[in-house]
């Protein structure tokens, strides 16, 4: 009888010791660890931004761009967090980012540039607007994308890309086989972008203004060959 009592007592002690250990090791499976960090940039009021000098506006925009997460950091975010940060960045960009105008001339060439394809820009949605034309010109082995009468909603880390989809509206349409021609030089004005010589232009059907970190389409020009 006494032995049985000792066994019962031992079982109770073991239960008391093992219960918190078991909870410690298994609780992460049942408890959500929610992270909701704010985008680390305080957006000033629109009226305050409008009252700033050009130098102050440029400094504010540079500060905003410096706080932008890069593509790697965005890719590691859970979808809900990525969407929240994207919304914060979009709202901040609408207040902070200035228009940047370019006026490139066509690059010098030994022979005449020949028009290969062209299309007109349309915005992706009510917020992301775009207008003007995108044209591909060829001269021998060289080719360029030229944007003319161009105007697009400004945003952070916008790139000019060629895609095989005729009218991409989302990252799923862009895919992974697009050609990145580099950062957008300005959101307004005429500008040129060199195309790598090893690209088969017949495979590409649109020029897209694309926010690389957040995989957001801003504007698309569907190309029609000449």
DSSP sequence for 68-113: S--HHHHHTS-HHHHHHHHHHHHHHHHHHPPP-EEEPPPPP-SS--
Is the model's pTM score more than 0.85? no
Collect all residues with Cβ–Cβ distance below 8 Å to 70 and sequence separation of at least 6.
213
CB–CB of 217/174 below 8 Å?
A: yes
CB–CB of 111/139 below 8 Å?
A: yes
* Range with the poorest average pLDDT among 22-26, 58-62, 127-131, 174-178: 22-26
Collect all residues with Cβ–Cβ distance below 8 Å to 105 and sequence separation of at least 6.
190
Class of domain 102-225: mainly beta
Which position has the token pair 């957006």? 43
Residue 217 banded pLDDT, cuts 50, 70, 90? very high
Q: What is the pLDDT of residue 218?
A: 96
Q: How far is CA 199 from CA 142, 163, 177, 196, in A?
A: 10, 12, 11, 6
Mean of the pLDDT values across residues 64-69? 86
Report whether pLDDT(140) > 90: no
Domain ranges of the chain: 46-96, 102-225
Identify which has the larger pLDDT, 128 or 20: 128
Q: In the predicted model, what is the mean pLDDT of the chain?
A: 85
Residue 192 banded pLDDT, cuts 50, 70, 90? very high
Q: Which helix (H) or strand (E) holds 41?
A: none
pLDDT in tens, 17-52: 555 545 444 444 444 444 455 567 788 888 888 899
Q: What is the pLDDT of residue 210?
A: 97
CB–CB of 82/35 below 8 Å?
A: no
Report whether pLDDT(118) > 90: yes
Q: For a pLDDT cut of 70, what percent of the chain falls above it? A: 82
Mean of the pLDDT values across residues 2-8? 56
pLDDT in tens, 70-114: 888 888 888 888 888 888 888 888 888 889 999 999 888 767 999
CB–CB of 165/205 below 8 Å?
A: yes
Closest CA to 152 of 169, 128, 136: 128
């Amino acid at each position: 009888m006494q032995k049985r009592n000792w066994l019962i007592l031992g079982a109770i002690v073991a239960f008391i010791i093992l219960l918190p250990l078991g909870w410690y090791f298994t609780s992460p499976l049942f408890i959500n660890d929610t992270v909701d960090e704010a985008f680390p940039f305080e957006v000033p009021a629109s009226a305050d931004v409008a009252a700033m000098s050009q130098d102050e506006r440029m400094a504010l925009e540079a500060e905003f761009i410096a706080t932008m997460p890069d593509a790697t950091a965005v890719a590691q975010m859970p979808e809900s967090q990525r969407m929240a940060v994207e919304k914060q960045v979009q709202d901040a960009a609408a207040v902070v980012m200035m228009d940047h105008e370019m006026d490139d001339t066509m690059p010098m060439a030994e022979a005449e540039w020949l028009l290969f394809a062209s299309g007109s820009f349309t915005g992706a949605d009510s917020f992301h607007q775009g207008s003007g034309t995108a044209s591909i010109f060829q001269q021998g082995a060289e080719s360029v994308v030229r944007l003319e009468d161009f105007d697009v909603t400004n945003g952070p880390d916008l790139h000019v890309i060629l895609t095989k989809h005729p009218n991409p509206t989302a990252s799923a349409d862009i895919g992974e086989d697009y050609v990145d021609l580099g950062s957008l030089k300005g959101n307004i004005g005429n500008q040129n972008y060199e195309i790598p010589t090893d690209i088969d232009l017949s495979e590409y059907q649109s020029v897209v203004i694309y926010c690389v970190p957040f995989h957001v389409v801003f504007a698309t020009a569907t190309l029609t060959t000449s």
